[in-house]
Amino acid sequence: MTDRPIWAPWRISYILGEKEETCLFCRVIEEDNDEANLVLYRGRLAFVIMNLYPYNPGHLMVAPYPHISELENLDTPTAAEVMELTQKCAAVLKKKMAAQALNVGLNLGEVAGSSIKEHLHMHVVPRWQGDNNFMPVLDDIRVVPQALEETYKFLVSEF
């Protein structure tokens, strides 16, 4: 354990703020405030949004518009667009952020680690050699070196 403080001032709004009672993704779909909601792209059947609490800078999510939690209930055209947008995310992260690798996947259900279990979404997490430094070993701490707003402005033009 370290005796030095680790600063993550952007988290205090989440810690102290009211928690959403409705589905985050459904709210974002309804609103017309993409920059504030970190929506990078809206497709015909799905959209790309930045993760507000990323594992790494550039952590993106692709979510379908329908409020569906089970993969087997996703229709084929929507599933295809989710995958197409996931491929687009991979290409953008490699080009703009020089990602050396990616973690891509779904957490289906709370037991699988989903924090928004009621609305299926694909995670696309860029990775670099050495990005998993000593911090997670100390106390499940991750250091994200870039503000979300800066990452948003950096990535949005590619979508």
Q: What is the pLDDT of residues 63-87, one digit of tens each?
A: 999 999 999 999 999 999 999 999 9
The residues annotated with a catalytic role in the active site are 121
Q: What is the mean pLDDT of residues 35-51?
A: 97
- Which of 69-83, 101-115, 128-142 is predicted with the least confidence, judged by mean pLDDT? 128-142
Q: pLDDT averaged over the chain?
A: 85
Is 13 domain-assigned?
Answer: no
Is 3 domain-assigned?
Answer: no
Is 103 domain-assigned?
Answer: yes
Please choose, from the candidates 117, 148, 123, 122, the residue with its C-alpha nearest in 3D space to the C-alpha of residue 23: 117
Buried b or exposed e, range 137-153, using 16+ CB within 10 angstroms: eeeeeeebeeebeebbe
Is 15 domain-assigned?
Answer: no
Is 6 domain-assigned?
Answer: no
Is 75 domain-assigned?
Answer: yes
- Where in the sequence is the domain holding 39, given as residue range(s)? 23-158
Instruction: Tell me, yes or no, if the pTM score tops 0.85.
Output: no
Is 110 domain-assigned?
Answer: yes
Q: How many domains does the chain have?
A: 1
User: CATH number for the domain including 45?
Assistant: 3.30.428.10
Which amino acid belongs to residue 45? L
